[in-house]
Amino acid sequence: MNKRYVIGNWKLHGSLSKVATFSQQLRMAPATDVVVAIAPPYPYLGACADLPSGCGLAGQDCSAHNSGAHTGEVSASMLSEWGCQWVIVGHSERRTDLAESDQLIVAKLSAAISAGLTPLLCVGESLTVRESGQEEAAVRAQLQAALSDIPPASLLIAYEPIWAIGTGVTASPEQADAMHAVIRNELTGLMDDGASVPLLYGGSVNPDNAGALFDCPHVDGALVGGASLDGTSFSEIVEAAQASLRQ
């Protein structure tokens, strides 16, 4: 795939002043084949509209509902109104902290698609599962649960091994590439255009390890947590993605 994706997930971090600092630090090369976006906390979506052009916006989550009596929820169509093109669905932190079920994730995928957003579906195994050698089966099962019934027409996947998130322990390029090959194989069975779904890696990606990950044949980009909070380090990851395309 001759394109790269670098998406920053700010999680529950940031402030209005940090958005302004990030915006000053972010270096965006004009018109490249690297798709760049930030998923800030909802209250900062408006302020992020002033980010340098070429940096898009993503939601960190969306409601399964479009409207109604659902206090605290934000719909996919609201995210779209604020300029989001993508929305993260099924992040492991939500699956764990908020007990999001496969059924709910399917409903959120459907809500995102109905609102014209491209979902970024997260999958990934825990340390216990990897240590028991069941990681491929676990990730295949997550894909089947999310995509068997109504595969979205447009989709990104992020493979985020839970043991690599926020730990400083990145999956090795070999581990990431091997799992991405498994995901590609599973997607081609589940979806007509599964061969062209961009596959992002997430879990302790930083400017030092991004280049080796982007050089993996099955890795099309990164979903970046901690290192996306600093505009300079995020820019360096974007530049590593650009360099991997030039090779």
List alpha helices for the chain, DSSP H: 16-25, 45-48, 76-81, 92-97, 102-114, 127-131, 135-147, 173-190, 210-214, 231-246
> What does each C-alpha distance from 207 to 40, 153, 192 come to in angstroms?
20, 32, 35
- As measured in angstroms, the least distance from the Cβ of 172 to ligand 13P is 15
Which residue is nearest to ligand 13P, using beta carbons? 225
> What does each C-alpha distance from 239 to 50, 63, 170, 224, 244 come to in angstroms?
21, 33, 19, 14, 9
- The only residue of 59, 151, 161, 202 in contact with ligand 13P, by rule CB under 6 A: 202
For 209, counting Cβ atoms within 10 Å of its Cβ (0-12 exposed, 13-18 middle, 19+ buried), the class is buried
Question: Using CA atoms, how far apart are residues 126 and 229, in angstroms rounded to an integer?
Answer: 24
> Within positions 8 to 47, which residues make up the interface with ligand 13P, using CB under 6 A?
9
220 scored as a contact of ligand 13P (CB under 6 A): no
- As measured in angstroms, the least distance from the Cβ of 147 to ligand 13P is 19
- As measured in angstroms, the least distance from the Cβ of 212 to ligand 13P is 15
Number of residues that bind ligand 13P (CB under 6 A): 14
Question: Using CA atoms, how far apart are residues 104 and 102, in angstroms rounded to an integer?
Answer: 5
* Residue labelled with tokens 């395309």: 245
> Within positions 83 to 142, which residues make up the interface with ligand 13P, using CB under 6 A?
91
- As measured in angstroms, the least distance from the Cβ of 177 to ligand 13P is 18
- The only residue of 19, 62, 179, 205 in contact with ligand 13P, by rule CB under 6 A: 205
Q: Which is nearer to ligand 13P, 56 or 66 (CB)?
A: 56
- The only residue of 219, 223, 237, 241 in contact with ligand 13P, by rule CB under 6 A: 223
Among the candidate windows 125-133, 175-183, 184-192, 223-231, which touches ligand 13P by CB under 6 A? 223-231
- As measured in angstroms, the least distance from the Cβ of 221 to ligand 13P is 12
For 205, phi then psi, to 5°, come to -75, 135
The residues, ordered by sequence, that sit 6+ positions from 245 with a Cβ below 8 Å of its Cβ are: 2, 3, 4, 32, 33, 34
161 scored as a contact of ligand 13P (CB under 6 A): no
Q: Is residue 224 classed as helix, strand or coil in its secondary structure?
A: strand
- The only residue of 61, 100, 125, 160 in contact with ligand 13P, by rule CB under 6 A: 160
Does the annotation count 160 as an active-site position?
yes
Amino acid identity for residue 222 in this structure: A
Q: Which is nearer to ligand 13P, 63 or 206 (CB)?
A: 206
Radius of gyration over alpha carbons of the chain, in Å?
17
- The only residue of 225, 231, 235, 236 in contact with ligand 13P, by rule CB under 6 A: 225
Return residues touching ligand 13P (CB under 6 A).
Answer: 9, 91, 160, 165-166, 202-205, 223-227
